[in-house]
Amino acid sequence: MNNENVLLVLEEDSSFLRSVAEQLKLHGYNVLPASRGDEATSLAARYKPLQCVLGLITRSEQRLQLLSSLHAIASRMRIVVVTEYGSVATAVAAMKRGAKDYLAKPFKVEELVAALRGNSRACDERASDKYPIGRHLELRRVEWEYIQRVLMDCDGNITETARRLNVHRRTLQRKLNKRPVPEISFTVN
């Protein structure tokens, strides 16, 4: 199998995985679907894909560490992280570990294909439409970002994060279960 168009897709949500795999096949990719990290590393070792879509689970340090593992297997792999709960903290952490792009769901498959091809202009245009210069982030979004940063500093430990934020653990869990607003797309060239 020619690894130029081989694409590893790691996503736990089976319906999203099937849907995105079908759409990416229409764009000429040979999709290697995986629902677990160990399955993804096994497929990466076998096929050496040059591209990967990595579904990021909220607050999952293990999934972020998987970025390094995948790069160790295939050093030229272009990894695009997709997540339902986009935050600056997780975007920065993903980029530091080698992700080339970061998309928050929902996104159009064309945006994902552009990110995979290294043409982030479509993603940048979408972000600039949502976030015109000078627009202030909503308070809920700022709170979400701060919580995510502290959570990353605590390696995903909810109890320690609650202690550092001086809130009850259940209060923190309720805040984490709320969907942040609005979603962001980040790109590194």
What is the C-alpha to C-alpha distance for residues 189 and 20, in angstroms, rounded to an integer?
24
What is the C-alpha to C-alpha distance for residues 86 and 40, in angstroms, rounded to an integer?
22
Per-chain mean pLDDT for the chain? 79
144 with 163, same domain? yes
Q: How many domains does the chain have?
A: 2
Residue 39 confidence (pLDDT) above 90: yes
62 with 106, same domain? yes
Torsion of CA 14, 115, 137, 154, to 10 degrees: 60
Residue of 125 and 118 predicted with greater confidence: 118
Q: Where are the alpha helices (DSSP H) in 74-120?
A: 88-96, 109-116
62 with 35, same domain? yes
Residue 137 confidence (pLDDT) above 70: no
Which CATH number do you get for residue 145? 1.10.10.60
Q: What is the pLDDT of residues 101-123, one digit of tens each?
A: 888 887 888 999 998 988 754 44
What is the C-alpha to C-alpha distance for residues 91 and 100, in angstroms, rounded to an integer?
10
Task: Work out the number of other CB atoms within 10 angstroms of the CB of residue 66.
Answer: 22
Model pLDDT, residue 51: 94
Residue of 123 and 88 predicted with greater confidence: 88
Q: Give domain status of residue 124, yes or no.
A: yes
Q: Give domain status of residue 117, yes or no.
A: yes
Q: What is the pLDDT of residues 169-188, one digit of tens each?
A: 998 888 887 766 554 444 44
23 with 99, same domain? yes
Range of the domain at 145: 139-177
Model pLDDT, residue 98: 85
